[in-house]
Amino acid sequence: MILDTRTLVIVLVGIGVLLSIAAFLTWRAHRHITALVYWAGGALLGTVGMAMVTVYGVWPPAAVVPLSNALVAATYILNWFGVRSFAGRSIPWRFGMALLAVLTAGIAWFVVATNDVTARILIMSAGIAGLSLLAALELWWTGPADRPRRAQRVTALVFLAHALFVAGRAVLTAWGGPLDSILTPNLVQSAGFLEAIFAVTGWGFGFLAMTSEKLQADLDRIGTIDPLTGAYNRRAFLKHAERELLRAQRNGAPLTLLLLDLDRFKRVNDTFGHLAGDALLRLFSETVTARLRRTDLFGRYGGEEFCLLLPDTDRTWAVTLAEALRRDVAARPLPFQGHEIAASVSIGIAACRSGEDLDAALAAADLALYRAKRNGRNQVMVDEATA
């Protein structure tokens, strides 16, 4: 069945308007996600460009055809820019503007020099397919590894399918012979506009789903990560530690807990101010995490006290790591306003024994930490039962 191409264009325009409004309103609520500006702008320009298609044959071709095609091409360029912005990558403005100029010039040539509709379709198809493929690749491969990317991957598949369809449509158009107008009611052109409706709807919803996924990941991070040090906050650490303890008890694997406390931290705050104290906490966190494995759990337990849970680690290896951390902290003073603030850390170690809960291990490690403090600080002490 051959559908009316003008009707399909009108439907496409309506969808573009709705998606543009949705992206703009989402950006108004979350202005830090600048990708939404690109996507809203792209949807708006594409809507205007497609609306101009409805007056083909009514307005002078030399005025309306190059402009409408330029606006549609700008949609794909801005979509690609938005994808790069979403991933935190730079925006290639010069390349984008140069590509837009080349596509527009090619369309104008085949309007003014010779009225070749097929050539115009081939030029635009090459640009659209190429930009859609770029967007698909960016969406599939880029983005933080610690953030969900399901919506991103689905949107990448939408762009990939669109690129393949547009390329196939170009081949069928070239094979089918000359066309009088892009609105010629035949199967290929009707299918092209129908597929465009699905593609625009698909990537529009995909962009909004990506935004929702990112916002949820940000909320999850705020709820689990200490904003000053980047370590787990106390609640999140205890939650993950409980799971790790259950796993270790099921498998019979060793599990060791460390409590770390910066020595004389209050003196740093009193002498140099809380900004210095905050900077020292950040430096300490960086120093510790530099030696950790991906499976280790590091959390801020409170104030200047931190927890470190080491899966599949016995007492010997825990002591080795603790001594290395103690030396690292002592060897890395904090540069602050012309001063070098020396630091040291006391560490208590306890094994998470079978049949005991996490509170028991924390209490044992706390007693070992107390002994390290009492014996002069800047020491590593092991719980007597663990030793």
For 85-143, how does the pLDDT look when each residue is reduced to its tens digit (9 = 90+)? 999 999 999 999 999 999 999 999 999 988 899 999 999 999 999 999 999 999 999 87
Give the integer Cα–Cα distance in Å for 234 and 239.
9
The reply to whether CATH 1.10.3720.10 applies to domain 234-382 is: no
Identify the helix (H) or strand (E) that includes residue 170: helix 150-176
Residues of the chain with CATH 1.20.1070: 5-224
Check residue 230 and give left, alpha or beta (phi > 0: left; psi -120 to 50: alpha).
Answer: left
pTM beyond 0.85: no
Give the integer Cα–Cα distance in Å for 211 and 231.
25
Q: What is the mean pLDDT of residues 258-272?
A: 95
- Confidence band for 182, pLDDT divided at 50, 70 and 90: confident
User: In the prediction, which pLDDT does 219 show?
Assistant: 86
| Length of the chain measured in residues | 387
pLDDT at residue 177 tops 90: no
Mean pLDDT of the chain: 92
pLDDT at residue 387 tops 60: no
User: In the prediction, which pLDDT does 179 show?
Assistant: 75
Give the integer Cα–Cα distance in Å for 74 and 235.
47
Of the candidates 155, 119, 151, 112, the residue with the CA atom closest to the CA atom of residue 137: 155
For 131-175, how does the pLDDT look when each residue is reduced to its tens digit (9 = 90+)? 999 999 999 998 766 667 899 999 999 999 999 999 999 999 888
Residue 268 CA, distance from chain mean position: 37
User: In the prediction, which pLDDT does 185 show?
Assistant: 77
- Confidence band for 189, pLDDT divided at 50, 70 and 90: confident
51-60, 66-75, 77-86, 360-369: lowest mean pLDDT where? 51-60
Determine contact, residues 137/129, Cβ cutoff 8 Å.
Answer: no
> The domain 5-224: what is its CATH number?
1.20.1070
User: In the prediction, which pLDDT does 57 show?
Assistant: 75
Task: Supply 124's token pair.
Answer: 């635009």
Residues of the chain with CATH 3.30.70.270: 234-382
pLDDT at residue 220 tops 60: yes
For 309-332, how does the pLDDT look when each residue is reduced to its tens digit (9 = 90+)? 999 999 999 999 999 999 999 999
- Confidence band for 273, pLDDT divided at 50, 70 and 90: very high
